[in-house]
Amino acid sequence: MFLRRLLAVSCLLLAACSGSKDPAPRAGSNDTPATIDNTAEVQAYYAAHPDFFVSKTPADLPSDLAWTDAGDLPEIGSPARIRGGVWNERIQDFPPTLRTVGPDSNNGFRNYLLDDYVIKFGHLHPDVAGPHRHYPGLAEAWAVDAPSRTVYVRLDPRARWSDGPPVTTDDVFFMFWFYQSSYIQAPWYNNWFGIGENYTCVTRYDDRTFAITIKEARPDMLARVLENSPVPRHFYREVGPDFVTRYNWRFIPTTGPYVLTPAEQQRTLTNRNSITFERQPDWWANDKRQFRYRFNPAQLRLRVIRETPTAWEAFLAGELEAFGMNLAEYHYDRLPDSDPRVTRGLIHKSTFFNDIPRPNYGLWMNTARPLLADREIRLGIQYALNWELVIKQFFRDGYSRLNTPSDGFGDMSHPTLRARPFDLALAAEHFARAGFRQRGPDGILVNAAGTHLSLSVNNGYESLTPVLVILQQEARKAGLDLQIETLDSSAYWKKVQEKNHDLAFAAFNVGVEPFPRYWECYHSNNAYDQPFLADGLTPNPDRKVKVQTNNLQTIAIPALDALITRYDRSESLDEMRGLGRQIEEILYEDASFSPGFVRPFYRVATWRWVRFPENFNVRFSTDAFEQNVHWLDNAVRPETLAVRRDESKSFPPSVRSYEQWKVKE
Amino acid sequence: MPLRLDPLTRKKLRRFRSLRRGYWSFIMLAGLVVFACVAELFISQRALVVRREGQWFFPSYGGILPGRTFDLDYDWETNYRDLHTRLKSDPAACARGDFVLLPLVPYDPIENCYPDQFFKPRPPDFARRHFLGTDTQNRDILARLVYGFRHALIFSVWFVAGVYGLGVLLGCAMGYYGGVFDLLVQRVIEVWSNIPFLYVVIIVAALIKPGLGWLVAINVAFGWMGLTYYMRTETYKEKARDYAAAARVLGAGDARIILRHILPNTAATLVTFIPFTVAGAIGSLTALDFLGFGLPVPTPSWGELLSQGTKNLTLAPWIVLSAFSAMTLVLILVTFVGEAVREAFDPKKFTLYR
């Protein structure tokens, strides 16, 4: 974090210097040293991999395909929406690059360049549950041929890049070349899009029709094809060994509604206090179903405000339209429901219960450590951690208990498993079975060999440190000593990835996916180099812990491995559901993950001129603005600002909780 | 045997006593230090005295007394406030003469004082004996201030010892030997002083679990340079005097000349700087804690309180007020003492070579 900030500062200085000497560099695409054209290289690559890049004619299309455009899905957004207005938002830092891949590109700004605003072939419908619920984006229609593991896609003829050219199958071919290229310095993409990794073949039938064949016909096959966005071939002609520097400050043409204009890029060369995206008035999807009621503001103005308290003041001053109220302190103390700004109806408060896979906050116990190798000790720890008190005191009862590491996947999550409660008697019983019966003079349990029951807890979330302090103080009652080690977040993660932890306070953030993943975190391949002897069952006495994997528990159970392998190969959701439950039960029995807490909602405070649809938002949304269903009612802004200064007047207040998707216990 | 000070030192001490502001500051500071050393007797969750069924307990110091000691049904440390209310409300116990004597502030610095309520800073509450209120994690601010002061003192003692040890040793050696050695060490110091201290601290704090020992080590590593220059000049001056030459003629070795002859004559300089070094140490520990690179949680510290306070300026002004006042008070006292010491030890007033 610190290094990143340093980098950002130095970039800023450099930019400021160059800007003052030479007022017209970098913003356009014609300032780079030598123009190169990679057309020949790209064509040669296609030719060198004839099995992957296949060209056919429309006549070769199978005739019996069942094309669909998912036209029966409900529409997102509200017809009452009003387009226009300036949406002011806060970003913490000016982006270090405008690239979306390569070094420094994986930061919060990528949301604006890619994740929330770019139109993919198809999107998961955020209001409808079930596996087949995509709605078309760039695609006009698609057809799935499960036996051949192929998805056929026809592009919408209206689909255009923001700089003019239409989106064609050229851009689809190029997407694979681009993500497979080593020039982009993005190993994750190289791996994911690599030949034979997830995709085995891409076929072009004409400019608008293509097919992608994937390796395994898993239940999420459609998502793996449709949830990609093509890469603009015409823009990336100059991709070469200097890609990272050459494309650092070029705005990528987008299929989404918002663009950075050259004038804005020019302005930000010398002024990096804000950056503004403009909505294209003639955006190709303006009238397309599922998009016509969304992306409403005419401008997105992102202001750089480093400190959260400063951003809060800016919000109260009306300079930002909205502020996230997820922290109890903001919701209850800084802007309680009784605050005059709320009671006078100037600021609206909304709580929305969403239904998404939950980040699995909890304590991950490294079973490769001597004390934690003993299951009885792990069980004792489970009962010695007072998460209930954490939820009550720190989160003020708003949060709920996480029960398994994969909560929030609907019926793919385990329906009945419940996390173990805080129970000192049971903790004492399990610790005693592990040989810890006596208490030392400091009240901590000691075994016959004189070993203290003392473990370290690694933490990288500065703001959540009080959570660990509560657990620590409560665990002392059970005779368990927890030493909290709070480190800078990147140093912390490095330590955990090196498996140098006893207990790690961590959470894996998951996108909205149809079913949980298990291999990364629980397969023995990610725990040890050679986990078992030749019989595949006996633990190998000489095994070494494998580092840089997500198996934070160093868990290696042959039966679990077998289930995970079957789960990963399964092509039926029903079978996966059954296997997933067995996996969860084994993990529960192993007791090496202590589930923490879940925030089952998001809260937001908005000024009165910010409007949402009747039901506020969509079921599978992680925050209020992700799906862009909000809009600005500019007619309301002047009167609101006027009333703010005149204390005798007020509007009807709005403090609402939307519980239509609240998960029933 | 009466303490025999040489007349010069006695004179200096008399002079120090006559500087009223500095002298009283010294008394107050010494009082605070003593108070911090025995803080358990005034601020602690543990009772001072428990008398139960004819038995006497003094839990303030030593190992914990589990709840079972007093027939409570748990093995962890006794909750003495709870025991206090139990015994008071039990007529039989009262008749036996059982009692619990709690300290003035019956809370620990890391104790969650409202175990069944939300985390929220609460204003001073004399009835519950939270004289300065509680912080964002329901902990007593007075307890955190006092124990934080204790940590600052321990840190200062080690810091001063380290800085003086290194600074005096190298400074004397530079001044005494001079020549190439002096030149070399001077260059080393110049290079070393240009390493940005804060960045090093941030990097180290990110990589290791920062404890008190590490913090002292890092601070000493970047804090010893200033003193060497004073010691170097002092030693240069002193070694040219006749008494040093006389000692050498009599056959004294380098170590003896430096330690027995030169060092005592530079004591005025050394003593003068101590209070300011202490003030600097407290300041830098607080700054590091404020930035989050200091002592591990949940160690009580002033910097952490200040940081909480600034984040809650409008919600809980009592946090920042307490921490800020405590810090200002102590640093002012230290500075007053420092000024008085400097004046009392000023060689222009008391020197043999007038």
Do B75 and A428 count as a contact with CB atoms less than 8 A apart?
yes
Residue B2 has pLDDT above 60, yes or no: no
pLDDT for A92 equals 87
**Comparing A381-390, B44-53, B298-307, B345-354, which segment has the lowest mean pLDDT?**
B345-354
Alpha-carbon distance of A182 to A189, in angstroms, equals: 10
DSSP A332: I
Residue A10: its pLDDT value, please? 36
H/E element holding A481?
A: strand A481-486
**CATH number of the structural domain spanning residue B200:** 1.10.3720.10
Band of pLDDT at residue B347, cut at 50, 70 and 90: low
The interaxial angle of helices A465-477 and A375-384, nearest 10 deg, is 110
Q: What is the pLDDT of residue B350?
A: 53
Assigned CATH for A34-78+94-253: 3.90.76.10
pLDDT of residue A13: 34
8 Å CB contact of A392 and B118: yes
Phi/psi for A434 (5° steps) reads -85, 5
Is the pLDDT reported for residue A415 higher than 70?
Answer: yes
Question: Which DSSP helix (H) or strand (E) runs through A631?
Answer: strand A631-632
| Mutation target vs A (from B112, B139, B290, B301; most A CBs, 10 A cutoff) | B112
CB atoms within 10 A of CB B92: 8
A165 exposure class (CB count in 10 Å sphere: 0-12, 13-18, 19+): middle
CA distance to partner chain B, nearest, from residue A440 (Å): 8
Of A331, A332, A333, A459, which to mutate for an interface test with B (greatest number of B Cβ within 10 Å)?
A: A333
Mean pLDDT of the region A576-588: 96
Contact criterion met (CB < 8 Å) for A462 and B292: yes
Q: Which residue of B has its CA nearest to A330?
A: B315
- Is there a domain that residue B62 lies in? no
Residue A31 reports pLDDT greater than 70:
no
At residue A632, the pLDDT reads: 96
Count, in order, helices (H) and strands (E) of chain B.
Answer: 15, 3
Q: With CB atoms and an 8 Å threshold, state whether A393 touches B64.
A: no
Structure confidence at residue A190 (pLDDT) = 92
* A193/A171 Cα distance (integer angstroms): 15
A contacts of B77 (beta carbons < 8 Å): 443, 476
State which residues form the domain around B210.
Answer: 7-37+143-344
- pLDDT tens per residue across span A445-500: 999 999 999 999 999 888 899 999 999 999 999 999 999 988 877 788 888 988 99
Return d(Cα B282, Cα B294) in angstroms, integer.
12
Confidence of residue A182 (pLDDT cuts 50, 70, 90): very high
Q: Which residue of A has its CA nearest to B122?
A: A333
Half-sphere exposure of A531 (CA within 13 A, CB side): 20
How many whole angstroms separate alpha carbon A37 and alpha carbon A35? 7
Question: In chain B, which residues have their Cβ closer than 8 Å to the Cβ of A478?
Answer: 76
Q: How many CB pairs under 8 A join A and B?
A: 82
pLDDT band at A665 (very low <50, low <70, confident <90, very high): low
Chain B contact for A461, CB < 8 A?
Answer: no
Q: Which residue of B has its CA nearest to A437?
A: B75
User: Total structural domains in chain B?
Assistant: 1
- Which member of B64, B75, B120 has the closest CB to residue A442? B64
In order of A141, A242, A262, A309, B254, the CA distances from A273 in angstroms are: 43, 28, 17, 17, 63
Check residue B354 and give its pLDDT.
40
Q: Which of B125, B99, B111, B124 is nearest to B43 (CA)?
A: B111
When scoring B297, B304, B310 by the number of chain A Cβ atoms within 10 A, the one with the most, hence best to mutate, is B297
Smallest CA–CA distance from A462 into chain B, residue: B292
Kindly state the tokens that stand for A339. 């605050």
Domain A362-598 fold is: Dipeptide-binding Protein; domain 3 (3.10.105)
pLDDT over threshold 90, residue A68: yes
Scan for tokens 């079921």, then name that residue: A619
pLDDT tens for A187-222 read: 889 989 999 889 999 999 999 999 999 998 888 889
Short-list A362, A359, A372, A361, CA closest to A499: A372
Q: Does A481 touch chain B (CB under 8 A)?
A: no
Q: Which residue of A has its CA nearest to B311?
A: A309
B137 vs A contacts (CB less than 8 Å): 466, 469
Q: pLDDT digit string (tens) for A220-254?
A: 889 999 999 999 999 999 999 999 999 999 999 99
* Mean pLDDT, chain A, whole residue set: 90
Subunit contact B203:A2, Cβ cutoff 8 A: yes
List of E strands, A354-430: 362-365, 400-401
Mapping DSSP onto H, E and C, the string for A251-318 reads: CCCCCCCEECCHHHHHHHHHCCCEEEEEECCCCCCCCCCCCCCCCCCCEEEEEECCCHHHHHHHHHCC
Cβ-nearest to B63 among A389, A396, A441: A441
* DSSP three-state, residue B134: strand
Report the percentage of chain A scoring pLDDT > 90. Answer: 77
| CB–CB contact A470 B112 (8 Å) | yes
If one counts every other C-beta atom within 10 angstroms of the C-beta of residue A643, the result is 17
pLDDT at A265: 93
pLDDT at A25 over 80: no
Cβ–Cβ gap A488/B118 under 8 Å? no
| Residue B95, pLDDT above cutoff 50 | yes
Cβ neighbours of A476 in B, within 8 Å: 76-77
- Within-domain flag for B133: no
B209 contacts in chain A (CB < 8 Å) = 456, 483, 485, 487
Q: Where are the domains of chain A?
A: 34-78+94-253, 307-354+600-625+632-658, 362-598
Contact in structure between A448 and A458 (CB atoms under 8 Å): no
Flag whether B28 is in a domain.
yes
| pLDDT of residue A160 exceeding 70 | yes
Q: DSSP 3-state helix, strand, coil percentages of chain B (rounded to 5)?
A: 65, 5, 30
B137–A440 CB contact, under 8 Å? no
C-alpha dist (Å) from residue A537 to A528, A534, A542, A589, B86? 14, 8, 14, 18, 57
Average pLDDT of chain B to the nearest whole number: 90
For A619-631, the pLDDT digits (tens) are: 999 999 999 999 9
